[in-house]
A and B are shown apart, each in its own frame.
Chain A
Amino acid sequence: MSPTVVMFVVFVAITLVITYFASGRSKTSRGFYSAHRRISGFQNGWAVAGDYMSAASFLGITGLIAFFGFDGFMYSVGWLVAYLTVLLLVAEPLRNTGKYTMADVISFRNRGRGVRAIAAISTLIITLFYMIAQMVGAGSLVNALIPGFSFNTAIIVVGVLMLVYVTVGGMLATTWVQTIKAGLLLGASALLSVLVLSHYHFSLGDFFAAAANAHGAVGAGTTKSLLQPGLFFSGRWGALDLLSLGIALVLGTAGLPHILMRFYTVPSAKAARTSVAWAMVLIGIFYLLTTFMGFGAATLVGQARIGPHVGSGEAIRYIAHHPAQAPALNADLQRDGYIVPVKNDNLAAIVLAQSLGGDLFLAFIAAVAFATILAVVAGLTIAASSAFAHDIWWTLVRNGEGDEVEQLQVARMTAAVVAVISIVLAIWLKNLNVAFLVGLAFAVAASANVPAIILTLAWKRFNRAGTISGMIAGLVSSLALIAIGPAVMGVDPADAVVRHLIQAPPIFPLANPGLVSVPLGFIAAVVGTLLSRDPESEALYAQLEVRATTGLGAEL
C-alpha cells in the first residue's frame, strides 16, 4: 500500500470509530439532524469551517493562484467576507426560528405547502450540484495520485463512506468528521506555507518579489505578473464576470443549506454567533494561506511542472525531474485508462507538497485532500436527507403527524438514494469540466434562498406569493443563465479531454449569473409580495420578530 492509502485508511478508521460511538445518539430525529443541539459554539466553528473549506478551496484556489495569481485570490477574499452576511443577518435569527432545515425559516410565516416544497427542492438542487463537483474532484485526485486505484473505485469509496457516516452516525458523526478534517486541512496548509516561506528565509519581501516575477499569459504572446489582476477575468466581459462572481460568493454562503443546518446543532443563538466567529478566524487564516501555497507552487515548482503534466504519483515525481518527457508520458497514461486533463491546475498543492517535503509529505497532503472531500460530502448528504425527510416527507406528505421511526427511515433511505445518484452522475460526468457546478450552487443559493431568508426575517409585508415568485425566479434564472453561459456552452478542439457539456458558442456572456439572477430573485420576491396580501403572514411577523430577536420559543 502506498503511504497515501495508509494515511487515508487511518483517517477513515478513526472517523468510523467515532461514527460507531455516535450511532447510539442518532436514534431520534433531534439527534439525527441536530446532534441534540449539544455541540459547543467553539466546536461548531471548526465544523462549519470543515463543512465549508472544500476541495474546490484547497486544490482549486491553490491552482488558480498558481496560474492566474491575483484573480484566483479573489475567490479567497469572497469566501471569507461571505461570513459577514452569515454573522450579521442570518445565523442567530435562523437558530432562533428554525428547527432542522433552511425551509423551517422560509416557511415560518408562510405555512402553505408550496413554500416548504420549493425551499426543499432548492436545497436538493444545490446539494446535488455541489456534491457532484466534490465527487468528480475526489475521483480525479485519487486517479492521479494512487496507481491502480481507478476513478470509479474512488467515487464508490467516497459515496459509501459518506453514506455510513450519515446513516449510522447522523449529525454527530458528521460534525466530528468535519472538525477533524478542519484541523488536518489547516495544519497541512500551515505546514506547506511555512515550507514555502522557509525557501525565502521567511522574508515576505523576497516571497512577493518572486511572485511578482512569475508571469501568466494574457492573450497571445503577452504576459503579466501574477500579482496583477486580469489574468483569469480578462477580455470584454472579464470585469463584469468578476463582479458577478463576487455577488454569488458574498451572498450565496448565507443560503447554502448544509452550512445553515450546522447552526441548529448548538444550544442557542449566542452559541451560533460564537460558531461563526471561530469559523471566520479559521476560514480567514486558511484563505490567507492560499497566497503562500498558490504563489509557492508558481515560484518554487513552476507552472510548467504543474499544468499539463498530470498522471500518477510516480508520474508527478518523474516529470518533476524530466519535464521534457511529459507529453509522451501523458499519452501512455491515457492509454492505460487514466484521465489526464489537458490542464489540471487542481494538483498545484499536491505537486508543491512533493517538491518541498518529498513523497511522504505528498502522501499526507493527498490524504488530507481526500478527507476534505469526505467531510464536505457528508455535510451535503445530511442536508439533502433532512430536506427530503423533514420537509417533504414529514411536513408535506405526513402533515407533521407521522411517527419518528418512519421519518428516520426515510432520512436514511434518502441518504442512500443521494449517494447512489451522486456516484452514478459523477461517473457519468467524469470527463466534463464540472468546476462550474460549485459556482452554480452558490448562484442558486444567492438568487433563490437568500432573498427569501432575508425578506422573511426583515419585512413584515413579505408573504407567500413573494416567497414563491422570488425563489422560482432566482432558481430558474440562475440555472438557465449558467446553462447558456460559457461554463456549459463552448466549442472545444477535437483532442480536448475535458469538454464543455454543449458544443456551441455561449449565448450569455458571463460564466457567473449572480449579477442578473440575484437582483431578479429580489425583484420577483418584492413584486410578488406587493401583488397580493396575506394577513396571516403579516400577523405571524410579531412571533417571528420576537423569537428571532430574543430566542423566546426557540428549539431547545
Chain B
Amino acid sequence: MGGLGANNHESMTFDLAEEPDRTLTVTLTGELDITNVDTLASAVKPALGRSPQRVVVDVGELRFADSSAIALWVQWAGAVPEIELRDVSPLLRRVVESMGLSKTLNLTP
C-alpha cells in the first residue's frame, strides 16, 4: 500500500470548482499516489473548510490511484454530507470494491 518511490514521481494534475449549490468538484488526471497525494490534500483543504454540501471527484481521466489516494477520498467522504466518484473506471471500481469501500465512497453498483 506504499505507492511509488521518490525518484519516480508520476504526473498528476487537478482542477477545483466550487459551484453556487455548494458542490465542490475535484477533477483529477494522471496518476495519484503517495508521492503526490499530499499536494492534492493541501490544495483541497481550504475548499473543504467552507463546508460544501457535496464533493464530486471526477476520476474519468485518472489512470491510477493507490491506497493513499483512496484514503484521502475516504477522509473527504467523512468531511462532507455527500461524496460522489464520477466516471469511475472498471479497474478503479474493482479496487474500491476489494477494499470494501463502495458504500463509503458512494459507488453505485
A and B from one assembly?
no
Q: B residues touching A (Cβ–Cβ < 8 Å)?
A: none
Interface residues of A (CB under 8 A from B): none
